[in-house]
């Protein structure tokens, strides 16, 4: 069990799996933000009253430590994932139906 974090209000506790809106491509990034897909993520920390730093744990976005794209055969421990700041409207609790399992956030980049 995790220690209580007084800097987190408990809506999205640190290290908990969530789903987060995040673009998978430059084309999506330039489109309507409300149409960005919900991707698996993990809360790194709460940064403000309604702001969290989230690691997006989607293998298709993973890179190597030097920012090169990761090959499909790359072991999970060697992957680095993008992180982003999001408010509560762009984060929702992780659902288990049809989503890959994950419990902790791996390396982060960008």
pLDDT in tens, 18-31: 999 999 999 999 99
Residue-wise pLDDT for 53-98, tens only, equals 999 999 999 999 999 999 999 999 999 999 999 999 999 999 865 4
3-7, 8-12, 56-60, 93-97: least confident range = 3-7
How do the domains of the chain map onto residue ranges? Answer: 17-109
pTM, two decimals, is: 0.80
Edge to edge, the sheet with strand 80-86 lists: 91-93, 17-21, 38-48, 51-56, 80-86, 107-109
Residue 37, pLDDT > 90, answer yes
Please, which pLDDT band fits residue 2 given cuts at 50, 70 and 90? very low
Q: How far apart are CA 34 and CA 4, in angstroms?
A: 32
């Amino acid at each position: 069990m995790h220690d209580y974090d007084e800097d987190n209000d408990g809506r999205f506790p640190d290290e908990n799996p969530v789903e987060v809106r995040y673009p998978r491509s430059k084309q999506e990034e330039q489109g309507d933000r409300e149409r960005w897909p919900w991707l698996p993520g993990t809360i790194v920390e709460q940064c403000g009253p309604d702001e969290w730093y989230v690691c997006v744990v989607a293998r298709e976005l993973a890179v190597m430590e030097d920012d090169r794209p990761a090959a499909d055969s790359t072991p999970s421990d060697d992957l680095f994932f993008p992180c982003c700041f999001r408010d509560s409207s762009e984060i929702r609790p992780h659902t288990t139906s049809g989503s890959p399992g994950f419990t902790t956030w791996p390396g982060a980049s960008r």
